[in-house]
């Protein structure tokens, strides 16, 4: 008997040890864990022992999620109340569809506890099924974060109506700028469904994402072929269960016969029968109308199209002497009868437009204000260049009052160290959202603009370029999961509290221990600023290699992306230079124009500055600049030590994997520094430049 007991305990011990070691990060922030605090554990169990869920279209998903959470957090089963609605006589949770809450919008909800018939009841109310789904994740989040439910009183509604992830996944499997394996979409097996799709949908729903663009903006026309559409429809059936719509990136030349596709687009070909993709051609219009109807017949809640046109070699209306508006409206009209939207990217930088690349998107698009149909949204990258570690806000935000505009942020770390560096992007996005555009006078922040507070008639939407792949932990780096999480939470509400988001992520992903919380926050918070100082000091511009956007290549970028001589460094975009500053509203244009009032972190984006320029710190630019270049090395070292201090608090596998990443990051930081330091001290000092 004793032996059996011992063997049993040994097996349990081994299972626990293996599961502790085996935490692969697959569960992300939905990593439900046993609640350590006995009084909270029994409180949660108490509520979960009497749950009444009204009929709604997500009832199955809500039930399953509550059960999954209960099994781990409280280690109990959810018990469902048999009483009819509102008649509950013991502690419990009641889900109510409540039309009075319509003012919270289609996805808003309320969670509040109250004494009801003498019992403590948690009411989850929404005027919509969607709200009940989102509220469930909020409720579970509270449990994961060790918060009491007894006095809970939350009212929420999303500030962007459309909250998207954009996948840059190719049909061939690889992901453009993806650093976490290959695509999640198994095109060979689809329409067969994999469990991973459900987990992907759950993760997104838990942070409020309600749409995904499935494929790369460098779009392969084959995505619109019927065989692919059938596969996509199967995927849509899974995602719909979590309130997620599918959108597709489409290639403007899709209607063309492959044999007539011009040489420059040969890479793609077309999938149609036409000799042209001219948006004014009747055959082209009909092709898109028919194709769109075919999609909606298969996927009735299809979201719409995303288009990259006349950019980096992609076909577009300008190839036929037509404007962006002509191209966008033609597609928007095909989508209109089905309430679909057309997202048209403003990421263009044709050299003929202006010698200063930063000026090009604004120059091409702002003059088209008012010319786009009402279901067209321009998708605008946060900065004027290209997802650099730091750029000023793209001046198109606020400058097109008669056009729908949405921001495109990048979650995947294309220019921010791929999945080798731990860089937490929330502070970068905060910088973006807080910027005051002054488009309607003071207080016209990007957050207000983006959420439709400034132009309320506009569609409010936001997109983040996804950092997911088929790596077991989804994002390549366990800490890159934080960027996916933070993006979703900001898309839901760009004014939410940064500290709260960060703490939630840490508690949900790792554990609620005080040491874990403070140490991980200390690790994450300075990472973006440090990265900027080392790789894009004072918003200088691109410093990495053109090949991979990772390795350092200061010398190749010098005097192409930015200027440097032995006397000065930067970009002259003031009124004495390219005049880019004039694209901003007053007083931003004058603030950026004057070297003394230009925000220091943006100094080299706007000005060519003498190396001996006195900075606010009292040091010269040269001194500060060189110090900054070292910053990633110092932070990497410090973060290695901080992480090591958590050895006892973190499960073994994830601990080791993060340790290995941090070591790699240190090596990469050293290499970057050496390249920059060598270039600036040995070359720039004697560099003649062109002055």
Contact 163, 464 (CB under 8 A): no
Residue whose beta carbon is closest to ligand GCW = 386
HSE of 258, CA atoms in CB hemisphere, 13 A: 7
Contact 635, 593 (CB under 8 A): no
- Residues 255-294, one symbol each (x = binds ligand GCW by CB under 6 A, - = not), give ----------------------------------------
Distance from first CA to last CA of the chain, Å, rounded?
Answer: 90
3-state DSSP of 648-664: CCCCHHHHHHHHHHHHH
CA distance 559 to 557: 6
> Which residue among the candidates 326, 408, 414, 593 is catalytic per the annotation?
414
Window contacting ligand GCW (CB under 6 A); options: 211-219, 283-291, 519-527, 613-621: 211-219
Count of Cβ atoms closer than 10 Å to residue 628 Cβ: 18
Q: How far is the CB of 327 from ligand GCW (least distance, A)?
A: 16
CB 91 within 8 A of CB 50: yes
Site string for ligand GCW, 295-314 (x = CB under 6 A): -------------x---x--
CB of 314 to ligand GCW, least distance (A): 8
Nearest to 46 by CA among 148, 144, 145: 148
Catalytic residue selected from 75, 312, 495, 548: 312
- Asked if omega into 303 is within 30° of 0 (cis), the reply is no
**What is the Cα gyration radius of the chain?**
26
Active-site option among 386, 601, 610, 651: 386
| Closest approach of ligand GCW to the CB of residue 389, in Å | 13
Residues 151-180: x where in contact with ligand GCW by CB under 6 A, - otherwise, as a string: -----------------x-------xx---
User: Alpha-carbon distance 423 to 107, whole Å?
Assistant: 31
Apex 640 CA angle, 31 and 502, nearest 5: 40
Query: From residue 426 to residue 455, what is the string marking binding to ligand GCW with x (rule CB under 6 A)?
Result: ------------------------------
Least distance to ligand GCW from the beta carbon of 435, Å? 21
DSSP bridge partners of 249: 306
Determine which residue in the list 218, 285, 555, 659 makes contact with ligand GCW, applying CB under 6 A. Answer: 218
Q: How many helices (H) and strands (E) would you count in the chain?
A: 21, 16
312 tagged catalytic = yes
Instruction: Kindly tell me which residue out of 32, 268, 347, 492 binds ligand GCW, with binding defined by CB under 6 A.
Output: 347
With vertex at residue 244, the alpha carbon angle to CA 136 and CA 159, rounded to the nearest 5 degrees, is 70
Nearer to ligand GCW among residue 102 and residue 264 (C-beta): 264
Nearer to ligand GCW, 383 or 537 (CB): 383
The yes or no reply on residue 217 touching ligand GCW (CB under 6 A) is yes
- Which one, 36 or 312, has the nearer CB to ligand GCW? 312
- How far apart are the C-alpha atoms of 102 and 420, rounded to whole Å? 45
Q: Establish whether 100 is a catalytic residue.
A: no
Closest CA to 555 of 448, 655, 674, 654: 674
CB-based contacts of 405, cutoff 8 Å, min separation 6: 377, 378, 380, 396, 397, 449, 450, 458
What distance in Å separates the CA atoms of residue 334 and residue 175, rounded to the nearest whole number?
29
Segment interacting with ligand GCW (CB under 6 A) among 27-35, 147-155, 213-221, 671-679: 213-221
CA–CA separation, 252 vs 326, rounded Å?
Answer: 12
Site for ligand GCW in 494-523 (CB under 6 A): none
Nearest distance, CB of residue 555 and ligand GCW, angstroms: 20
Is 442 part of the annotated catalytic residue set?
A: no
Give the interface size with ligand GCW as a residue count (CB under 6 A): 10
For residue 229, the minimal CB distance to ligand GCW (Å) is 22
| Closer residue to ligand GCW in complex, CB, 435/550 | 550
344 binds ligand GCW (CB under 6 A): no
3-state per-residue secondary structure call for 76-100: CCCCECCCCCCCCCCCEEEEEECHH
State the nearest-atom distance from the C-beta of 166 to ligand GCW, in Å: 9
Instruction: Tell me the C-alpha distance between 35 and 147, whole Å.
Output: 11
CB 540 to ligand GCW: min, Å: 17
Binding mask 349-388 for ligand GCW (x = CB under 6 A): -------------------------------------x--
User: In the complex with ligand GCW, which residue's Cβ is closer, 202 or 308?
Assistant: 308
Contact set with ligand GCW (CB under 6 A):
168, 176-177, 216-218, 308, 312, 347, 386
Catalytic positions: 312, 386, 414
């Amino acid at each position: 008997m004793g032996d059996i007991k011992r063997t049993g305990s040994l097996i349990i011990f081994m299972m626990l040890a293996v599961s502790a070691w085996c935490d692969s990060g697959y569960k992300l922030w939905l990593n439900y864990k046993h609640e350590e605090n006995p009084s909270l554990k029994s409180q949660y169990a108490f509520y979960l022992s009497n749950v009444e869920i009204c009929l709604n279209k997500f009832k199955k998903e809500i039930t399953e999620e509550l059960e999954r959470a209960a099994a781990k957090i409280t280690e109990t089963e959810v018990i469902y109340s048999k009483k009819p609605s509102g008649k509950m006589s013991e502690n419990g949770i009641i889900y109510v569809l409540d039309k009075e809450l319509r003012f919270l919008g289609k996805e808003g909800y309320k969670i509040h506890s109250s004494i009801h018939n003498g019992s403590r009841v948690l009411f989850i109310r929404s005027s919509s099924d969607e709200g009940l789904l989102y509220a469930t994740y909020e409720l579970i989040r509270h449990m994961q974060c060790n918060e009491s439910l007894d006095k809970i009183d939350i009212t929420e509604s999303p500030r962007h109506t459309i909250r998207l992830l954009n996948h840059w996944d190719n049909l061939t499997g690889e992901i453009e700028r993806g650093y976490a394996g290959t695509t999640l979409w198994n095109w060979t097996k689809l329409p067969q469904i994999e469990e991973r799709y459900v987990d992907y949908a759950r993760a997104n729903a838990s942070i409020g994402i309600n749409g995904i663009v499935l494929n790369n903006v460098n779009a392969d026309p084959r995505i619109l072929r019927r065989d692919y559409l059938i596969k996509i429809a199967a995927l849509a059936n899974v995602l719909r269960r979590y309130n997620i719509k599918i959108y597709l990136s489409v290639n403007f030349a899709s209607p063309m016969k492959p044999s007539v596709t011009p040489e420059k687009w040969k890479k793609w070909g077309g999938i149609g029968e036409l000799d042209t993709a001219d948006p004014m051609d009747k055959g082209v219009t009909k092709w898109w109308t028919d194709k769109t109807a075919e999609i909606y017949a298969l996927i009735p809640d299809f979201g719409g199209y995303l288009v990259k046109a006349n950019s980096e070699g992609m076909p577009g209306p300008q190839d036929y002497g037509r404007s962006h508006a002509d191209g966008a409206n033609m597609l928007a009209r095909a989508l209109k009868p089905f309430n679909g939207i057309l997202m048209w990217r403003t990421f263009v930088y044709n050299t003929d437009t202006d010698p200063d690349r930063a000026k090009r998107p604004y120059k091409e698009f702002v003059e088209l204000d008012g010319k786009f149909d009402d279901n067209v949204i321009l998708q605008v990258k946060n900065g004027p260049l290209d997802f650099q570690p730091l750029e000023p806000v793209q001046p198109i935000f606020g400058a097109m009052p008669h056009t729908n505009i949405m921001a495109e942020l990048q979650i995947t770390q294309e220019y921010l160290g791929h999945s080798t560096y731990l860089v937490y992007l929330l502070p970068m996005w905060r910088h973006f959202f807080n910027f005051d555009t002054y488009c309607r006078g003071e207080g016209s922040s990007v957050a207000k603009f983006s959420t439709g507070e400034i132009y309320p008639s506009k569609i409010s939407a936001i997109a983040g370029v996804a950092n997911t792949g088929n790596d077991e932990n989804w994002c390549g780096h366990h800490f890159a999961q934080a960027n996916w999480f933070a993006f979703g939470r900001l898309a839901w509400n760009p004014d939410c509290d940064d500290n709260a988001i960060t703490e939630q992520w840490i508690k949900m992903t790792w554990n609620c221990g005080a040491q874990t919380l403070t140490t991980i926050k200390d690790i994450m918070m300075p990472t973006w600023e440090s990265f900027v100082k080392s790789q894009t000091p004072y918003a200088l511009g691109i410093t990495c290699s053109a090949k991979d956007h990772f390795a350092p290549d200061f010398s190749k970028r010098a005097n192409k992306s930015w200027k440097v001589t032995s006397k000065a460094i930067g970009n002259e975009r003031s009124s004495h230079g390219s005049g880019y500053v004039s694209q901003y509203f007053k007083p931003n244009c004058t603030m950026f124009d004057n070297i003394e009032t230009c925000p220091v972190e943006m100094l080299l984006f706007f000005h060519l500055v003498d190396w001996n320029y006195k900075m606010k710190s009292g040091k010269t630019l040269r001194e500060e600049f060189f110090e900054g270049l070292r910053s990633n090395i110092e932070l990497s070292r410090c973060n290695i030590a901080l992480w090591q201090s958590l050895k006892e608090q973190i499960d073994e596998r994830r601990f080791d994997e993060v340790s290995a990443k941090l070591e790699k990051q240190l090596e990469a930081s050293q290499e970057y520094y050496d390249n920059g330091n060598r270039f600036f001290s040995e070359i720039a000092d004697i560099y003649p430049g062109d002055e």
